[in-house]
Structure 1
């Protein structure tokens, strides 16, 4: 069934006069009559009854009106959505993230996208590590991923979104808890709670590099699967740890202490995407996320 036949049918159903309907459709009356006959033949029913002053809808014709309106409205919506999506303003965008850093950053990143593309439907998926987020991006499970740099993969593009400085975290009753700042060498010989060792653990690498600037290796007493667990154990007095700025995790049992040194190693958060993804919506999202607060 051709859409133009439904359009002609609806116009005639409103005008109930072939002459007026043909004028609205900018065609002659004979082609309109032919179109209505063609539609009736396809449906196997009579849609209009002719009378001297025009036409009236049959029962079948009355039943077709709302259906035809729904079909044409759906087509209009589809056209609008597709054209809007061409400019990056519609569709669905899924962002993958991991850890406390992702929890802190993702709301702002998504807000930037929504502000720049009001029609986009955003969603999130949480993973256990940056490596798993990157795997999800490569597999097409998510469109974008929040990862920690340094991170390199030939099929992924990355762009930094935040810089993170190291912070000491201790229990609230620890001797260093009330200090405004500490030097790294003061931590030598203390018990550390650290991220679990796995390939690509950026936070563990940072912790080790910070300690190395003072010439020591941290004495690890407990390894944890995530930052939340690290904070819980630090708050319980199991040990101290090093985290990063930008983690918005509330805990009344820990205190964050800055380092006196201003040249310590740091980390960057970035968004990663699959380079071969052709979506313009994705391009606009990356630009929105990396251009600063909305």
Structure 2
């Protein structure tokens, strides 16, 4: 092998590795525009959860969508039991995808636990342009001086149901998250995501969702951050949105008319308007 051939071979190897990584997480890039929106899904959801937002956003922005391990069309080897035993493993997935696509100055859009993952990513990837959080919560448990919305016993009971009757848990949680003010068909749609996801991986991520506290990193997110707070959100009450607005250095709180925990499903037009106004 001559010295001149090494860079070409290295480049080909890098291209192959990147291609494999993008296939592993079922990464799709669409749309046009100088700014890139990178979507972080909620618990048990694939990239299809954004289907009501992407057609309009793709006319102005480049969109990057992917599937977490155990969801959508992510490949089985995307999941690593040790690495994904903390949310940091999911952060590493996002960073790896960004590196494979050579993305700079991206805008992270995260929902629910995806919002928590986005906050952690913002600390470890300071070149982000901004962050958009849909129905976020840095900590779901009530503690002295902090109202997260759930008592420890409630979470333990919910996770116990998940172990004993996954389908029953999925049906109950999807109804609670969509809320009684929205059509039952949206709950059925969310339930479909839960049921299609790998049950074991979703159980593990659910534990991380409810037991991980990302409040310590919130003051370190030094980029403009939009907080979309819904009404009557059982998983992220108004107190949580107010907490984030106080502790994010550049946090902007928008109280939506949308109810429930999934405004990208129940109120896509209002969600789009808020995101577009924030991005300017």
Is TM > 0.5 for Structure 1 vs Structure 2?
Answer: no
* Greater RCO, 1 or 2 (C-alpha within 8 Å, sep 6+): 1
More helix by share: 2
More strand by share: 1
The structure having more radius of gyration, on CA atoms, is: 1
